[in-house]
Structure formats: structure tokens, C-alpha cells
Structure 1
Amino acid sequence: MKVLVIFTGGTIGSTLKNGYIGTDDGAKFALLEPFCAEKDTQFETTCPYTILSENLCAKELNILQSSVGEGLKKDCDGIIVTHGTDTLQYSAAALSLAFGDCKKPVILVSSAYPLDDERANGYENFRAALEFIRRKISGGVFVSYKNEDDAKTAIHGGSKLLLHAEGQADLESIDKSPFALFDGKEFEIFLTAQKNAPIGAVEYVENPGILLVSSHPADDFSHYSLDGVRAVILNPYHSATLATENKGLKSFCKKANKADIPVFVSVARNDAGYESTRLFDELGITALPYGTIVFSYMKIWAAISKNEDPRYAFSI
């Protein structure tokens, strides 16, 4: 089995020095060392950039896309991308948009702590990714991650990841439905986990002009400038509701509509809506198709990067 490993930094490629976590070239070799003795496994490695993932920008996304695209042309059985946890969901969504239907597995792995920390899950995440490739389970883009209190490592569809819960590194798929679970020996596959159709690689622009607004009480919206904004995404409460009686929100939406700036609301649940959601149309708010806010953000960023109206990215 031949595996291409693309190193990009992150906690999985870092060590603790003088009380701070920072990237360390030696961590790359520490990750591979336990697996190099396996006679049926050959690794090819590349390191197109090294960052802590909170610093992810368009430049790195474009380099990562290019590296994965070139890797898929190589004589290998699959690709493992090491990545930081902070923006893991965004890179996974971008790679899903670009290569979601690829025949080889592309799997992002990360670690909640540096590998020399006994709490690290990086080795387990890497092992699950390696076995997924070895067993030729599926092509496409995935994320391998073992949550802190879970007995099994989850294989998530790259476009299905929710944002982290506050202060937590654990990962969850939308509907709590990962693609597969690995118990260290066998995979349990969930056929209900569908993959999104890709749109191909995109040259992401550095400043897409996306205003992402979270929901919280007493927000009068007066401090949100629309200068240079190409699209607005409202992140609703967990019940997919917005404060539609808020005069500030009404005024903000009216201003955006007048400037022909689309205002979207992300919808991460597919059951019955609350009464306040009926007012979305009146306010000129477009409810996005059921999915994660990360995937919606990346799809809108991709559309803007291609100089397209983001409304058409969702066939709305």
C-alpha cells in the first residue's frame, strides 16, 4: 500500500516549548515512526506549508487544493492530510467541494494535543485513516477523528462537520451521523451518510467579503457595516430561529436588500420550524439548504471567488 502524506502543521505537527505550542519539523517524523515498520506500507511525504491552522487563509487553501490534486494523479492508494483542529472543518469542506467524487480516499487527520502529550489522539486518528485506505472502503474526502470520551474513531464526510462546541476539540457530523466508525479492528459503515457533489477546484480570493453574524440577545445590528460585503450569513440559534421581531435586524436586512447583497441563514436542522422562521421571506432572508454553516460558508466563498452570484451556488 502506498500512501501520500501531506503535512500542513497544526497541533499534530507541533510540540510544547516554553509553555507555548508551536509547529516543529520533528513532529512530522514522530507521527509516521510507529507505522513505518509495517512492511506493506510505503509513505511518500510532502510539506507544502506549515502553519497553526487558526492562520488558515486563501493562500493555504489554494496550495492545499493543488497539493491534493497533484497527489491524486500519483501512484498511491490514498492521501492523508495532517491539519490543525481549529479550521479543520473549513479545509475539509473546501476539499470536498473540489474532490468529493475522487476515487481515492483523501483523509484529514489532526490531534487535540501535541503527539508527545499522553492525551493526544493523533496516532489513533492516523491509524483509522490508514486502515480506511488499506481496506479500500470508499473514495472521497473524509476526516478521521476520535473524540475524547468515545471508544471508537469516527470517519466523517468532509462536508458534514459541525463547528466545534465551545471550548471543545471533539468533532460531530450533522445529525450525529458519521460515514463510519472504527473500533481498532473493524469499520462499521453507515450508508445513510451521503457525500455532496463537488464543483471542482477553486482559486479562493483572499478577501471574499462574507459577513458572518452570530445570534445573541440585544444585538441591534447597527454596528455591522456592509461596505465591501458580497454576502451575509446569519448563524441562527440552535432551533434555526432568528430574532425576527428585532427592529435592528429588519433595518439591516432592508439595507442589504437595497444594496442587492444576499442575506442567508444557515439551516442545520430539518424538522418543523418555529413561527419566527415564517418571516424570513418578508425580511429578504434566504434559508440555505439543509447543511452545516461551514459548508455553506465555503460554498459561498467559492462562488464569490469565481465572481458568481452566491445565490446561484445553491440553485436558489
Structure 2
Amino acid sequence: MKRKVLIIYTGGTIGMEKDYATGSLVPFDFSNIFKRMPEMNLMECEVSVKSFDYPVDSSDMGPKQWQGIAKIVQENYEAFDGFVILHGTDTMSYTASALSFMLKNLGKPVVLTGSQLPIGDLRTDAKENLLTSLYYASLYENDEAVIQEVTLYFEYKLLRGNRSLKFSAEYFDAYQSPNYSILGQSGVHLNIDKDSLLKPKSTNFEIDLHLDENVLFWRIFPGMNFDFLLEVTSVKVIILQVFGSGTIFNNEKTERVLRELRQRKVEIIVISQCVSGGISFGKYSNSNIFSQVGAINGKDMTAEAAITKSMHLLNNPRYKTNFAELFDEDICGEVTKDFH
């Protein structure tokens, strides 16, 4: 039986072609992808295409577009065995992270991919990324999907979506998953690490479109004016990206600002500026203030996952537990449970 895979084209370099009159890249009609890539007709799965009415540059992607993608998956969930989302590379990890929280009890593969060069370019990476993503999205054993989570495929590697980050704007190998193992790797054989895959907690697939945008991300740096944090009065969650394993300036101003934020009922989440590793309160004395004010340990989460998880949990009527306890939970593989 041929598996059915739906390609959801949102925009991005993978769907661009050069306008020779201007020299700029412009979107092409993605419904013509089978003519541009005749090898797709040789796939062992049946492929359909659903495009955004207006392709979106990845820098314009946000909650509205994430919700639109989730709705398309929901509307087509019963008709298809897997989904490939074509997306611009700059914010693909944000979208993958957001969808991992919004698509509840996913029982089918969702694979995000894109490319560094347009699909018509002679040296493009688009064809391999797309073709292998289709293979992963149609991978079934004993009538059950092997992959049942939101993933990201790029340059021969399949990554957990909410563990991925873009680290290169230059190389084809543009994504890493520094704090979680690679889910699969494409070579002569299509390999997959089944022990690393996520399994749904229930078979009742549903979507939760809740996203609250009252979240601020702030990277601290030596010499910054910490009082600036108090000037943003409407924020409900501040994600502080701090030094190393959780250190920050050890002075009276830092303590005063953090305590005032907490008095305002602002949730403070602490993540690391380091790509690999995470936060360990108490390891150094300059991290003790976070425990004293009741900040939340973001452990080894990526910035993209911490941001989108905060947006999803903040004031979400679905959850009854308080925000801090909810954030500390591993919802869909975005954080290492026993990290310390």
C-alpha cells in the first residue's frame, strides 16, 4: 500500500527561482514541483501539495502562521499518513518547536525541511532534503508510523524539532541538535534511532492553538543596563539567556531588578548562552540569586523551544497547574528530564 504524504509549502528558499529581469529570488508555483523534480514521480509514496495562499518569508513567520500550519495538519490528518512542511531556514526551528507543543498526541510523522539554495540552482541542496524528508514522512512498520513527532530534516540528519537550532547561514549542514541525539541519518541506507524517538501519550490527536505573545527574550551581556528590564511593563514572561551554566552579575542592582520583576508576577526563565549544555543553579555563587527569587531553570532547552513553550503555556486554559510547574515538565521531549 502506498503511503500518502502531504507537502505543506509555506515559503522559503526551497520554493524560489531567480527573476532574471531583476536578479532577485521570487516564489514559483509549487504545484509545478513534479515537473521541476520528475524524480518525485518515482517515490514509493503518493504525494500531494498544499500551499499557503501567499508564500511567507521565514522572517515573517510567527504565531498566526504556526496556527495556520497546525490547522492544515488537523484538516488533513485522517487523509494522509505523513506531512512534510517546506519552510525558510532562518526560523524553521522556531516553527518546529511551536508545532511540537501545538500538535498534541501526534501519531504520524511531521517533517520540516528547506534548503540553503533554490530548487532550480545547479548546486542546490533542496532536492535531497525534500526527497529524503518524504521518505521519512512515509516510513511505516507493521502499519504504524515509525516517527510520531515533529522533526526537522536537513543535510542527511533527522533531528527532533524542538531540539534543533540553525547554526550556519553558509553551509548546507546548517542545523544542530547539541543536547539530544540525532534521530536518523541518511546515507546508503535510511537509518533511524528508534530508542530516541518520542511516543505519544495518547492516541487522541488534537491541536491546541493557544499562543500568548507577552513573552520577552533577553540576552545579557557585560556592562548592560539591567534596569532596562523594568521598562517593559506588559511582559508576563522574561527568558534570560545568561552566561555559562547560569551565572549573572553579582550586585545589588541585579537582585533589586529580579525581585521587582517577581513582585510584578513576571515569570523569569533562565537558559544558557552556550549552544551545548545547560543551566545548573548553585554550581557557582553568581547563580544563587535565581533560586532565591524563584526563577525557573530552563535546563538544556534551546532558545527557540523556551520561547515557544512559554507562549504556549502562558495563560493557556487547557492547563490547571501553575506556569512554573508546567514549564519544568517535559511535554514533548524538549528538555532532558534529569538534567542537573
1:149 match: none
Contact 1:159 1:195 in 2 (8 A): no
Cα drift, residue 189 of structure 1: 2.0
Cα drift, residue 28 of structure 1: 5.9
State, as a whole percentage, how many aligned pairs show the same letter. 20
Contact 2:58 2:88 in 1 (8 A): yes
SS in structure 2 opposite 1:139?
coil
SS in structure 2 opposite 1:159?
helix
Whether 1:54 and 2:59 are equivalent positions in the alignment is yes
2:235 match: 229
1:87 match: 91
Specify whether residues 215 and 16 from structure 1 end up closer, same or farther in structure 2 by C-alpha distance, changes over 3 A only. farther
TM-score, normalising length: structure 2: 0.79
Query: Unaligned 5+ residue runs, structure 2?
Result: 141-145, 330-340
SS in structure 2 opposite 1:174?
coil
Q: d(CA) in 1 for partners of 2:252 and 2:30?
A: 55
Whether 1:161 and 2:167 are equivalent positions in the alignment is no
1:25 match: 29
Cα drift, residue 157 of structure 1: 1.1
Of 281, 300, 307, the match for 1:290: 300
Q: How does 1:135-146 map to 2 (within 5 A)?
A: 135-136=139-140, 137-146=146-155
Contact 2:184 2:193 in 1 (8 A): yes
Q: Match for 1:179: what amino acid?
A: L
Whether 1:64 and 2:69 are equivalent positions in the alignment is yes
Contact 1:36 1:42 in 2 (8 A): no
Contact 2:11 2:58 in 1 (8 A): yes
Give the length in aligned residue pairs: 306
CA RMSD of aligned residues (A): 2.9
Q: How does 1:125-274 map to 2 (within 5 A)?
A: 125-136=129-140, 137-146=146-155, 153-162=156-165, 164-165=166-167, 167=169, 170-175=174-179, 177-189=181-193, 191-192=195-196, 194=198, 201-205=207-211, 208-224=213-229, 225-237=231-243, 239-266=244-271, 269=277, 273-274=283-284
Contact 1:96 1:196 in 2 (8 A): no
TM-score, normalising length: structure 1: 0.85
Whether 1:38 and 2:32 are equivalent positions in the alignment is no
Q: Match for 1:69: what amino acid?
A: Q
- List per-residue Cα deviations over 1:161-218 (Å, max 9, x = no partner): 13x236456111132521111114331426245568699533344x611110013211
SS in structure 1 opposite 2:216?
strand
- List per-residue Cα deviations over 1:249-295 (Å, max 9, x = no partner): 33321221121111110256258644422332124422124322211
SS in structure 1 opposite 2:101?
helix
Q: d(CA) in 2 for partners of 1:7 and 1:215?
A: 36
